[in-house]
Structure 1
Amino acid sequence: MSKAQRAQVDAILRQPRPAPRNVEEMRAGFAAAQARNPVPDGIRTSEATLGDRRVLVVEPIGEQRPGTILYFHGGAWILGAPETALPLTGALVARTGMRAMSVDYRRAPENPYPAAVDDGVNAYHELLQSQDPARIALVGDSAGGSLAVTTALRAQESGLPAPAAVVAFSGAFDLTLSGESMTTKAGLDPTFTREMLTPLTGMYCGGQDLRDPHLSPALSADLTGFPSMLLQAGTNEVLLDDSVRLAARAIAAGVDTVLDVTAEVPHVFQAFAGILDEAAHALDRAALFLAQRLR
């Protein structure tokens, strides 16, 4: 673990940027920031369709292991695309040898909740036509981590077979923004504050009850019978308690759950695998979790 590396990542995230004037400028700025993160070698990409949505297919060059990672990109349900998450999907593909299919779900504010969850369930439903659920994992980062969990929850409620595993990197699981870490980590988090998140979650939720299980699963979801779950977070993020409380809720429901918290790293630190040793180590652990649970 390197203090110098952690300080470098913190400084990158704290660099001043022009305030965006609209959603399109926010999206362009997010894409530019994500483009700085390295994409690993040894992968290839193509496009396909699942549930009427475009997916970016990421595959290893060479031998491919059975299994599919259905991935949901981050970006506060408003920003991002499968391409902005390629450093993460590529890292998982390179480490597991499995393919990833990254869903280009509909984004808010043009398409508020439940559009993204609907797209996730539809993509999963179509994937089940060709893939054994025991060889599927739902994975995502930030808002995509929320979608990985809520897609699995909606699929379960719809009577679909459960995937083998769910993995979330710095997931957002309480859209009431009531976690203690919203206050205690505000100065340490270089990415978010409660005040920054409030308008973003408002655009996604579209006036819905914020305690809805598909918006705040850490507060109200019934996780009985849920698949194995890995939740990774850093101690320097205001969303830390979202993962902590969801893990506690899952454990109380008898779910095989791993809560993996790394010290002194920020939101979705795994994206900095080319800079930060802790990021690479966390991705190694996520890949091992997937390999152990996807038969």
Structure 2
Amino acid sequence: MSTEQQNQLDAILRRSAFSVDSDVGEQRRLLRELTSAQPLSAEVAVKSGELGGVPVAEITVGGVEPRYVVLYFHGGVYVLGDAFSAAGLASQVGRRVGAKVCSVDYRLAPEHPYPAAVDDALAAYEALLNDGIAPSAIVLAGESAGGGLAVATLVNARDHGLPLPAAAYVMSPYADLTLAGTTIDTKGEADPLLSRALLEPRVTDYTAGQDAALGLISPVFADLSGLPPLLVQAGSHEVLLDDAVRLAQRAGAADVEVTLEITPRVPHVFQAYGPLLDEATAALDRAGQFLSARLTSAVSPPLVPKPGRLS
């Protein structure tokens, strides 16, 4: 059944893929149409909030008593998407670890190029700490650009002397904006969504003249030492496969506890297609086990934020 599911999903994604000639405005419109066509489960509640002056979507799941916080970063190559459109996938992470999810609505390029997203991510994380949430009760998670941003936030928090969260989970991380990964080209035919031609103009939008090899832009080039346990998942049918592999290698070489999972024949951020793909549910289940083990092994007080914050 899985091979049939994979083929069906590939066909669906190829029909909805962005044209290489489309601009940012058109890509944003198409993405909104796609995400609005996938309604949230009735048990998932989303409301607006803020952390450190940064807008967030606060996501809870009915029947789940939140003991922890997932700070989540959406994908969209730093120019597309928003915190609310990521609520479906983000809620799946929160459900599995018994957590409230704060999906960060970081500023997007080209209107707000680097370091806007990085600054917003750090501000949101620092606000959780200031609200009295123990770092051992927090995990970071993200998909695509959000996966890269999650790792950049760990590096940024470490460099600012902040205590680090219990773990991080990244799906198909976009971690090298120099586009030097070999699979950018070798997986071009297999990937139904992304290509070098689609990514290159969006890199320019985000970097705006800055060096794409900076560690907070492309965490594959960052010093990853001292980071908490990291789970990296990717599919074999994506041009960003090499980003995931090299990120995990760099983390391992820096003595970070890292787990790399590559699922055959599935696309970029395959975890988002749970209703269509058995591998998606299985990968999220493994991620839930990974994160839960790191959260429960840490000694932390109950999740009791300061009055009026993270309510």
Measured in 2, the distance between the counterparts of 1:216 and 1:24 equals 25
**Residue 191 (structure 2) aligns with:** 189
CA distance in 1: counterparts of 2:234 and 2:71, whole angstroms: 20
Judge which range, 250-259 or 91-100, deviates more.
91-100
User: Unpaired segments of 5 or more residues in structure 1?
Assistant: none
1:16 and 1:60 mapped to 2: Cα distance?
29
Offset, 1:36: 3.6
User: Structure 1 CA distance, aligned partners of 2:8 and 2:32?
Assistant: 20
Alpha carbons of 1:202 and 1:269: their partners in 2 closer, same or farther (altered >3 Å)?
same
Q: Distance in 2 between matches of 1:17 and 1:174?
A: 22
Alignment partners' CA distance in 2, 1:274 and 1:87: 12
After superposition, the Cα gap between the structure-2 partners of 1:267 and 1:18, relative to the gap in structure 1 and judged at 3 Å, is closer
TM-score normalised by the chain length of structure 1 = 0.96
CA drift at 1:77 = 0.5
Deviations 1:169-224 (A, max 9, x none): 11111111111111210100000111111111110111111111111221x21111
Deviation at 1:40, TM superposition (A): 3.7
> Which residue in the other structure is 1:56 paired with?
57
Q: 1:131 aligns with which of 130, 133, 139?
A: 133
For the Cα contact (< 8 Å) 2:78–2:145, is it kept in 1?
A: yes
For normalisation by structure 2, the TM-score amounts to: 0.91
Partner AA of 1:7 in structure 2: N
Alignment of 1:72-221 (within 5 A): 72-129=73-130, 130-218=132-220, 220-221=221-222
Secondary structure, in 3 states, of the residue corresponding to 1:294? Answer: helix
Deviation at 1:93, TM superposition (A): 2.1
Quick check: 23-32 or 267-276, which moved more? 23-32
Amino acid at match of 1:181: T
For residues 64-90 of structure 1, the C-alpha deviation after alignment (integer angstroms, 9 at most, x for no partner) is 141100001111111101121112112
| CA RMSD of superposed structures (Å) | 1.5
Quickly say closer, same or farther: Cα 1:195–1:25, change in 2 above 3 A: closer
Name the structure 2 match of 1:287: 288
* Matched residue, 2:3: 3
- Do 1:55 and 1:102's aligned partners in 2 also have CA atoms closer than 8 Å? yes
Q: 1:18 to 1:229 in 2, by over 3 A?
A: closer
Number of matched residues? Answer: 294
The alpha-carbon deviation at position 42 of structure 1 amounts to 2.7
Given that residues 43 and 93 in structure 1 are in contact (C-alpha distance below 8 angstroms), is that contact kept between their aligned partners in structure 2? Answer: no
**1:286 Cα deviation after fit:** 1.1
Letter in 1 for 2:14: R
| Conservation of the 8 A alpha-carbon contact between 2:45 and 2:62 | yes
Where do 1:270-281 residues align within 5 Å?
270-281=271-282
1:141 alignment partner AA: E
Contact kept, 8 Å, 1:145 with 1:171, in 2: the verdict is yes
Q: Aligned-pair distance for 1:43?
A: 2.4
| 1:15 alignment counterpart | 15
Q: What is residue 232 of structure 1 aligned with on the other side?
A: 233
Cα distance in 2, alignment partners of residues 63 and 286 from structure 1: 17
Q: Percent identity?
A: 45
Distance in 1 between the 2:143 and 2:264 partners?
Answer: 18
SS at match of 1:128: helix
For 2:99 and 2:63, the matched residues in 1 are separated by 11
